[in-house]
A = this chain, B = another copy of it.
Amino acid sequence: MAKTPCKGMAPRVRRTRQLLHQALGTLLETRAFETLSVQHITTAATLNRATFYDHYPDKFALLECMAASRFHDLLTARGVKFDGGCASALKAIVLGVCDYLAGLPALECARQRQLEPHLESAIIAVVRAMILQGLERHASNGAASPEMMATTVSWAIYGGAKEWVKTVDRPSSEEGADVVMTLITPILSLSRLTRRDTHHPVETT
C-alpha cells in the first residue's frame, strides 16, 4: 500500500519502482499476467531479479501498486477533487473507474484469472479514500459511519463499473456511469451528500 513510488522517497528507489511499473505495463499489452514471470519483468526493466524482491513480495503486489498508482494518476489528471460540487466529483470518479477498466487489455480473457482479483482491492482502496475525503465535509448524521459508507459505496461503484465493462454492446462510459450513479446516490443521500449540489461553477480544465 505504501509501496507507491511516492514523492517523498529516495529518487533512486522511485526510479527503480517506476521502471518496474513501466515494464509491467508494457508487458501487459502483449502478454497475459499469468504468463509473466518476475524474470520477464525485471529483464524488461533492465534490473536484476533479486532487486524486485527488495521492493515487492511478489508480482501481485507490483500489480496492485501499479494499478492503484495509474488509476490515481488518471483521476488527478482529470482534476477530480471535492472542491467543487460533490455530485460532479462522484460522477467523475465513477467515470474514471469505468474508463480505467475499459482500458485494460483483454480483461475478459480466461488467462487473466489472477489479474482481476488483485486489481479490485487496489482500485477500490483509491476510490474509498477519495470518497472518505469527500465525506469529511458532511455531517455523518446517518446510521452508518463515514468509513462504512465510503467502503460500501466504493465497492458498489467498482461492481457496477465491472458489470458495465462486461456488458455486450455496452453503452458509452458516460451512460454507464450515469446508471451506476443512480444506484449509489441513494446511499450517500443518507448523509446529505447531494446538498448544495452544483454550487460552485468550478470546471476542471
What is the interface of chain A, defined by CB distance below 8 A to chain B?
57-58, 60-61, 113-114, 116-118, 120-121, 124, 142-144, 147-149, 151-156, 158-160, 162-164, 167, 179-180, 182-184, 186-187, 189-190
Contacts and interface: CB of A to CB of B under 8 A. Distances in A.
A160 B155 CA distance: 8
A182 B152 CA distance: 11
A57 B116 CA distance: 16
Given A116-B121, A184-B187, A186-B189, 4 more contacts: A57-B113, A117-B120, A117-B121, A153-B156
A93 to B, nearest CB: 15
- How many copies of this chain? 2
A61 B120 CA distance: 17
Contact of A159 (B117, B152, B163, B183): B152
B180 A152 contact: yes
- Nearest 5 Cβ contacts at the A-B interface: A155-B159, A186-B186, A156-B156, A117-B117, A151-B163
Contacts of A57: 113
